[in-house]
Amino acid sequence: MSAATAELVLPSYLEQSIEVKHSFRELKARPPVLEIARLGKDFATPRGVVTALSEVSFTVHKKEFVSVIGPSGCGKSTLIRLLAGLETPSRGCVSLDGKSVSGPGAERGMVFQSYTLFPWLCVRENVMFGPRLRGVARDVARTKAGEWLELVGLTKFADHYPDQLSGGMKQRVAIARALANEPRILLMDEPFGALDAQTRCDMQSHLIRIWDNVDLTVLFITHDLDEAIYLADRIVVLAAHPGRVAEVIEVPVPRPRERAHFLSGPFLATKERLETLIYGR
């Protein structure tokens, strides 16, 4: 093999540096927050039963960041709706901190692709909404909302209304609003899917900074391979028809991650594996 060819050979995505191996050993020793066991979901349609998910099992550990990726229609949104308790499983179960999930709850924070802020409330009131609903005193909720808004960099916009904000800012308020309920896990369904490329990059870095600063576990659905790798400790790859786990990848890229890592051997090897699993190339 010539020197030029040798330079193009990627390491295996299964190859982990000592540092990465150590971080996974530490991660797996943490208690599980979310356990998904043999989860299945069927939908009755006029054309018969559609099995959206079949035999999906994986665990998310405390302070872990898990991305879920897969082709359109493989059941990503169905999975997150089951985890949120917005749908009932046809088979299997979901447990949070060892307790079976049977409906929506404040311990699971949700951020969707579409902007879901209350347009009639200002930014601060949007963030205070959940805690107020749970009976937190107004002045306490207001002070806490100020802290969350500082964390997402929106202190100056606390009195603005959602229609005065950009898409990226709205999603930062949505994240602050979800965090204000102090959830055990943040469930995010393509939250940056509607943003332009530059804002999307900024939001990814921002989310990682928040995750670094807060005791937070995240399950993040995306279509975007770079986004999945940049953000996640592990990536759950789903295959379609029926939606099922094709593989769970331990991302071999060390943290803290920089944009420069996008061209590193471990990053490109992971991307190549994702392309093979998702697009068969």
Ligand X SMILES: Nc1ncnc2c1ncn2[C@@H]1O[C@H](COP(=O)(O)OP(=O)(O)OP(=O)(O)O)[C@@H](O)[C@H]1O
Residues that bind ligand X (CB under 6 A): 43, 45, 50, 52, 70, 72-78, 243
Contact between 94 and 35 (Cβ < 8 Å): yes
Which residue, 242 or 252, is less far from ligand X as judged by CB? 242
Parallel/antiparallel/unpaired status of strands 91-96 and 32-45: antiparallel
Parallel/antiparallel/unpaired status of strands 244-250 and 234-239: antiparallel
Distance CA 208, CA 204 (A): 6
Binding-site partner at residue 72 among Mg ion, ligand X, none, CB < 5 to 8 Å by type = ligand X
In terms of Cβ atoms closer than 10 Å to its own Cβ (0-12, 13-18, 19+), residue 33 is buried
Positive or negative: CA dihedral 11, 227, 85, 89: negative
Give the shortest CB-115-to-Mg ion separation in angstroms: 16
Which residue, 70 or 266, is less far from ligand X as judged by CB? 70
Q: 33 to 92, contacts with Mg ion by CB under 5 A?
A: 76-77
Give the shortest CB-140-to-ligand X separation in angstroms: 37
Which residue, 76 or 108, is less far from ligand X as judged by CB? 76
User: Does residue 23 belong to the site contacting Mg ion (CB under 5 A)?
Assistant: no
Other CB atoms within 10 Å distance of the CB of residue 23: 16
Binding-site partner at residue 248 among Mg ion, ligand X, none, CB < 5 to 8 Å by type = none
Give the shortest CB-131-to-ligand X separation in angstroms: 30
CA Rg value for the chain:
20
Which residue, 40 or 252, is less far from ligand X as judged by CB? 40
DSSP-based three-state secondary structure for 77 = helix
Contact residues toward Mg ion (CB under 5 A) are: 76-77
